[in-house]
């Protein structure tokens, strides 16, 4: 039997299209005891605020605050990671965060409210189900950071990796092409 938490959500559903995503969640009300619950609540509040204003800077800020953005961005480079010069890493991670913020703001109209039930919670993983039956798994990078989010088995980090490596591959392995793409 899973642990259940009823939550009110205005901003829900992580929707993945080929190489693109839509992002998640809303507020929580709970008596559920889980160390990661505060993290999920913070994410919910931040993303609900960003979605209501459709603000790319609010989404970027939330992503920067809650995601292990460095780990996610470096993973997204796949086999091209060695091409990223050390002195360009900070710029790249910041550009990737801004890119996610813009993309989420552009797609925030595709996200609707629903309820969420936390099914299990550990130090590494929070599994939940939205009211519409969609499963979501938050893989944690510690007590205050999310390393990855999977919705219905589709991973955000995998989608970003496909997109970012595709841009580099389509430009003959040129890392600058990805940086230019992210900064558009």
User: Residue 44: left if φ>0, alpha if ψ -120 to 50, beta else—which one?
Assistant: alpha
Distances (CA, A) of 19 to 40, 47, 138, 167, 169: 25, 21, 19, 11, 14
Q: Exposed, middle or buried by CB within 10 Å (0-12, 13-18, 19+), for 23? A: buried
Per residue in 106-152, pLDDT (tens digit) is 877 655 455 566 788 888 888 877 666 777 788 998 878 889 988 77
d(CA 112, CA 159) in angstroms, rounded, equals 21
* H or E, element range at 117: strand 115-121
Q: Which domains does the chain have, with CATH numbers?
A: 7-182 (3.10.450)
76 compared with 28, residue with greater pLDDT: 76
pLDDT of residue 119: 80
Q: pTM for the complete prediction?
A: 0.74
Per residue in 44-95, pLDDT (tens digit) is 667 767 877 888 999 889 888 889 999 999 999 999 999 999 999 999 999 9
């Amino acid at each position: 039997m899973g642990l259940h938490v009823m939550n009110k959500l205005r901003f829900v559903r992580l929707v993945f299209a080929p190489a693109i995503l839509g992002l998640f969640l809303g507020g929580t009300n709970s008596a559920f005891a889980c160390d990661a619950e505060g993290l999920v609540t913070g994410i919910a509040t931040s993303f609900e605020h960003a979605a209501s204003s459709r603000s790319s800077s609010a989404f970027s800020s939330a992503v920067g605050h809650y995601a292990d953005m460095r780990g996610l961005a470096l993973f997204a480079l796949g086999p091209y990671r060695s091409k990223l010069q050390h002195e360009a890493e900070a710029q790249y991670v910041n550009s990737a965060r801004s890119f996610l913020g813009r993309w989420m703001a552009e797609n925030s109209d595709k996200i609707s409210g629903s309820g969420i039930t936390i099914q299990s919670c550990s130090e590494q993983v929070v599994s939940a189900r939205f009211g519409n039956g969609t499963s979501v798994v938050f893989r944690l990078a510690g007590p205050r950071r999310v390393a990855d989010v999977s919705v219905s088995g589709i991973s955000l980090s995998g989608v970003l990796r496909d997109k970012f490596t595709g841009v580099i591959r389509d430009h003959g392995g040129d890392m600058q092409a990805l940086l230019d793409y992210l900064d558009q």
